[in-house]
A and B are shown apart, each in its own frame.
Chain A
Amino acid sequence: MKVLEMNRIKKLNISEYSSIFAVVALVIFFSLNNGNFLSAFNINSILIDMAPLLAVGLGVTFVLLIGSIDLSIGAIVSVSAVLLSLLITDYGYWAYLVAIAFGLFAGLINGILYTKLKIPSFISTLGTMSIFQSFAYILSKGEPVQIGVQDWKFISFEKFDIGIIPSVFIVTLILFAFMYLIQRKTKLGKYLYAIGGNERSSKIAGINVDRIKILVFTLSGLCCSIGGILLAIKLKSGVPTVGVPITLMGIATVVLGGTALTGGKGSVIRAVIGVTLVLVIQNGMSIMGVDAFWQQIIFGLLIILAVLLTTDRSGRDTIIK
């Protein structure tokens, strides 16, 4: 018993530090290989890439903490990006609100389907993924929706950088601060870990588990819509397929950071580490001229390694609920 306990503690510690070590080691490795890696321009561009992915990752972290999964994240990103681009001409800043409202609504639907109909989140969000993604195609008629030059005034805030930190990243930082506060200092934050650790005990202890789950999925929707908005601003258009790769990337980066797929273990800080790790690798390999397909192979291996380090594979926890 004691030995088992020790093993578990050891395993946690490895994963706790391994991703941070990996980030530091990779930064040193890439900067030694290429002097441009640590240039202001490159850091700025890494941060711009990080902003939408991290925004999504923050929501994913909460979903994974309660032991669920949200496969519709990418689709919500797509719809939000398309909505912003479509509506900005006629409605200006209101378009932001509509995009965010959609995110909240989509998350709410996910939460209700999951809890009230008692469908596993893997299945319910697989269904809504398909539905939301189709919304994106229908709204955009299957083509990218450009944000015209005349409307750039509504997205001009992206021009302002604080030093080398781009303003889109600051938006994500504010979202991070919000989510971090929830995680550390509110009832919801405490309940995340309790439900992920033992849902049945949490229910008996008097926690309104269904309400918490719905809230978590709604927050996930919010984070995705912000991610979608940031992507639309970056690309100056609403591409209906923009979220497709985000589905896997969003979940993989969070897991890579050390948040367990089984629930109860993790943190939004780990999402930051995971996203940083992936984008440093991506950017570094691109700078070194590694072939894009090989990048995918390395990325795949990394995910397997991360799960190997973080999950307790004794068989009692099932990964997907």
Chain B
Amino acid sequence: MIKDILFKVENLTMKFPGTLALSDVNMEIKKGEVIGLVGENGAGKSTLMKIIMGIQTQTSGSMSLGGENYEPKDPNDANMHGVGMVFQEQSLISNLTVGQNIYIGKEKEFKQKGIINWRKMYKDANDALKAIDINDIKPETKIKDLNFSKRQMVEIARVFNSAKTGKSDFSLILLDEPTSVLNDEEIKQLFYQINKIKEEGNAVIFVSHRLDEIMEISDRIYVFKDGKNVGDLRKEDADEAKLYEMMVGKTHTGEYYKINRQTVPTNELVLEVENLSLKGEFKDVSFKLHAGEVMGICGVIGSGKEELCSVITGDIKASSGSLKVFGKDANFNSPYDALKSGIICIPKERNEEGIVSTLSIMENINLSNLDGVKNGFLISRKKQVKRSTEWIKKLRIKCSGYSDTVSQLSGGNAQKVVFGRILSSGAKVLILNHPTRGVDIGAKEEIYNLVRDVTDLGYSVILLGDTLDECIGLSSKILVMKDGLVTKFYDAPAKAKPEQVDIVRYMM
């Protein structure tokens, strides 16, 4: 029996500063088996894939392939062992041709006297495409001239080909959300190919948010939650409801999110969004936000929730629809306009969009409202110091003083600096895009408290939570999005929070 196992993961653990991305994961994959992998965003699926591909190295635990210890140094090394992956974000180089992409990093095979034999490369590339029944893509075409689904097929051809040419007898293919850009016909074709390589004794790990797909193609399904492998179901035993429940879990988290402090929103209308659309991203989104309200937006990546936030904060211009702030029509060209109307955001990417790491804590905190620290025309250093020391104290930012540069701070403390900045900006509508991302547990709790504090003061919050749990726990109202459309509204008063299982159903 042991012989039948192609790939094995034992006690795999991956620690990142502040978080445990994977904890004690065990897996066994047999030859000729298709494994489905499901879990919420952040459950650890991508981390596991990256470790299998040698992009990251585990903190502890081991993997074995074909009975031998498997420690890939990098993706190329993984390919050599017969392991290949189709990435969620496409990894093809757009200004090179299809053939060049299929054999990227392997040009040596085509070298004759120091010169690459392009004709042979293109001939082989053509064979590689034919091998998975693609006949309508020429290997000489540049990637940028192909549409996304064709690119995806090229990517799949590349991975199948590189895994096949590895030195081991059987390959392991990882597919991370391979169907998101494919149409039904292409998905059918992909599934046919998966079944074909499975017949040959190879194994496949298939990650998707679409449970119907997972259940169609997989022989067995692993469920991940919070970095743990919480279940392993045979296809026959799985149904959607069961999977949802396992993915979401049933923990009671009321205390953690300070639900007892949740404010009952007032009737004062703050933000009115009507039929807001952004071409290709989301369509006809309407909602009302009141003072003291926390509105959570739930949806998977690609649901349009991120883009909706970008439009409300003025970073992207809407293609149609209207936005009213405090009863006044608003048409934002930039976050500067949004701030003037009273809207500001905590961006998702803290280092790239949230802080200016070369500046001090003081300068960061004051950046969004320098008018408030002026004496007449000139900026007063005294007022700047006063305001920043106040926030350092109030938010308990750990530092040696207000003149520390933000680059010296930990993630949680840097995030508190961003909070200090937006709370002193004068804006009353706060868009919090993953406010607890990369922040340790202690700082997380302080941020939850802070959200309660500001809503007590009449601020309104739009929240994109780091987890579904967080989104439900903090919000007093929840908007669920799927494929750019609002699929459901939930009221989420402290006493009657909606069930995660139900929300997930509208997300997927």
Give A5 to B404 CA distance when docked, in angstroms.
12
Query: Which single member of B334, B355, B356 contacts A208 (CB below 8 Å)?
Result: B334
Q: Which residues in chain B, 314-365, are within 8 Å of chain A measured between CB atoms?
A: 315, 334-336, 338-340, 344-345, 347, 352-359, 363
* A202 adjacent to chain B (CB < 8 Å): yes
* A10 adjacent to chain B (CB < 8 Å): no
Query: Which A residues touch B338, using CB under 8 A?
Result: 206
CB pair B377 A197 closer than 8 Å:
no
Query: Which B residues touch A265, using CB under 8 A?
Result: 358
CB pair B315 A204 closer than 8 Å:
yes
List the one stretch of B70-78, B143-151, B166-174, B367-375 in contact with chain A.
Answer: B367-375
CB pair A202 B377 closer than 8 Å:
no
Query: Which single member of A185, A200, A208, A210 contacts B352 (CB below 8 Å)?
Result: A200
B252 CB → nearest A CB, Å: 36
A173 CB → nearest B CB, Å: 20
* B313 adjacent to chain A (CB < 8 Å): yes
Give A42 to B379 CA distance when docked, in angstroms.
40
**1/0 contact trace for A183-194 toward B, CB 8 Å?**
001110110011
CB pair B368 A194 closer than 8 Å:
no
Q: Which residues in chain A, 153-212, are within 8 Å of chain B measured between CB atoms?
A: 181, 185-187, 189-190, 193-194, 196-198, 200-210
Give A197 to B407 CA distance when docked, in angstroms.
11
Q: Which residue of A lies closest to B355 (CB)?
A: A201
- Contact A206:B425 (CB < 8 A) given known A186-B377, A187-B370: yes
Inter-chain contact count A-B, CB under 8 Å?
A: 81
**1/0 contact trace for B226-247 toward A, CB 8 Å?**
0000000000000000000000
A308 CB → nearest B CB, Å: 20
Give A193 to B406 CA distance when docked, in angstroms.
14
Give A200 to B348 CA distance when docked, in angstroms.
12
CB pair A194 B367 closer than 8 Å:
yes
CB pair A204 B366 closer than 8 Å:
no
Query: Which A residues touch B59, using CB under 8 A?
Result: none
CB pair A198 B370 closer than 8 Å:
no
Most buried by A among B334, B340, B344, B421: B334
- Contact A206:B335 (CB < 8 A) given known A194-B359, A197-B359: yes
Query: Which B residues touch A210, using CB under 8 A?
Result: 334
* B115 adjacent to chain A (CB < 8 Å): no
Q: Which residue of B lies closest to A208 (CB)?
A: B336
A196 CB → nearest B CB, Å: 8
Sorting the interface of chain A by its residue count into under 10, 10 to 19, 20 to 34 or 35 or more gives: 20 to 34
CB pair B359 A205 closer than 8 Å:
no
CB pair A206 B368 closer than 8 Å:
yes
Query: Which A residues touch B334, using CB under 8 A?
Result: 203, 208-210
A186 CB → nearest B CB, Å: 6
A236 CB → nearest B CB, Å: 39
CB pair B368 A205 closer than 8 Å:
yes
CB pair A198 B356 closer than 8 Å:
yes
Q: Which residue of B lies closest to A196 (CB)?
A: B358
Query: Which single member of A185, A189, A194 contacts B356 (CB below 8 Å)?
Result: A194
* B378 adjacent to chain A (CB < 8 Å): yes
* B141 adjacent to chain A (CB < 8 Å): no
Give A194 to B368 CA distance when docked, in angstroms.
11
* A221 adjacent to chain B (CB < 8 Å): no
* A264 adjacent to chain B (CB < 8 Å): yes
* B408 adjacent to chain A (CB < 8 Å): yes
Subset of 16 A-B contacts with CB under 8 Å: A186-B379, A190-B367, A193-B359, A193-B363, A194-B363, A197-B358, A202-B356, A203-B336, A204-B313, A204-B335, A204-B345, A206-B336, A206-B339, A210-B334, A264-B359, A265-B358
CB pair A205 B335 closer than 8 Å:
yes
CB pair A190 B363 closer than 8 Å:
yes
Query: Which single member of B336, B352, B357, B379 contacts A190 (CB below 8 Å)?
Result: B379
Q: Which residue of A lies closest to B347 (CB)?
A: A204
CB pair A5 B408 closer than 8 Å:
yes
Query: Which A residues touch B368, using CB under 8 A?
Result: 205-206
- Other 12 A-B pairs with CB < 8 A, given A202-B367, A204-B335, A207-B367: A181-B378, A185-B378, A186-B377, A190-B366, A197-B359, A198-B352, A198-B355, A201-B353, A205-B344, A206-B335, A206-B338, A264-B359
Q: Which residue of A lies closest to B360 (CB)?
A: A193
Query: Which A residues touch B355, using CB under 8 A?
Result: 198, 201
CB pair A204 B370 closer than 8 Å:
no
Give A196 to B378 CA distance when docked, in angstroms.
21
Q: Which residue of B lies closest to A207 (CB)?
A: B336
Give A185 to B380 CA distance when docked, in angstroms.
7
CB pair A264 B379 closer than 8 Å:
no
Query: Which A residues touch B363, using CB under 8 A?
Result: 190, 193-194
CB pair B378 A206 closer than 8 Å:
no
Give A197 to B352 CA distance when docked, in angstroms.
11
CB pair B335 A201 closer than 8 Å:
no
Q: Which residue of B lies closest to A203 (CB)?
A: B335
CB pair A5 B407 closer than 8 Å:
yes
Q: Which residue of A lies closest to B359 (CB)?
A: A197
CB pair A204 B356 closer than 8 Å:
no
Query: Which single member of A185, A201, A207 contacts B379 (CB below 8 Å)?
Result: A185
Q: Which residues in chain B, 365-409, are within 8 Å of chain A measured between CB atoms?
A: 366-368, 370-371, 377-379, 407-408
Give A206 to B371 CA distance when docked, in angstroms.
13
CB pair B357 A198 closer than 8 Å:
yes
Query: Which A residues touch B359, using CB under 8 A?
Result: 193-194, 197, 264
CB pair B353 A204 closer than 8 Å:
yes
CB pair A197 B356 closer than 8 Å:
yes
Give A208 to B370 CA distance when docked, in angstroms.
13
Q: Which residue of A lies closest to B422 (CB)?
A: A205
Give A192 to B198 CA distance when docked, in angstroms.
59
Give A185 to B370 CA distance when docked, in angstroms.
10
Give A201 to B353 CA distance when docked, in angstroms.
4
Query: Which B residues touch A189, using CB under 8 A?
Result: 379
Give A187 to B335 CA distance when docked, in angstroms.
17
Query: Which A residues touch B371, using CB under 8 A?
Result: 187
Give A31 to B238 CA distance when docked, in angstroms.
90
CB pair B357 A197 closer than 8 Å:
yes
Query: Which B residues touch A200, using CB under 8 A?
Result: 352-353
Give A196 to B358 CA distance when docked, in angstroms.
9
B322 CB → nearest A CB, Å: 22
Give A202 to B379 CA distance when docked, in angstroms.
18
CB pair B347 A264 closer than 8 Å:
no
Give A118 to B425 CA distance when docked, in angstroms.
28
Q: Which residues in chain B, 420-465, are within 8 Å of chain A measured between CB atoms?
A: 421, 425
Give A270 to B61 CA distance when docked, in angstroms.
54
A121 CB → nearest B CB, Å: 19
Q: Which residue of B lies closest to A210 (CB)?
A: B334
Query: Which B residues touch A196, using CB under 8 A?
Result: 358
Give A36 to B399 CA distance when docked, in angstroms.
53
- Contact A193:B358 (CB < 8 A) given known A5-B408, A204-B353, A208-B336: yes
Query: Which B residues touch A194, using CB under 8 A?
Result: 356, 359, 363, 367
Q: Which residue of B lies closest to A194 (CB)?
A: B356
CB pair A264 B358 closer than 8 Å:
yes
Give A187 to B380 CA distance when docked, in angstroms.
11
CB pair A201 B339 closer than 8 Å:
no
B346 CB → nearest A CB, Å: 9
Q: Which residue of A lies closest to B384 (CB)?
A: A190
**6 A-B pairs closest in CB distance:** A206-B339, A197-B358, A197-B356, A185-B378, A208-B336, A198-B356
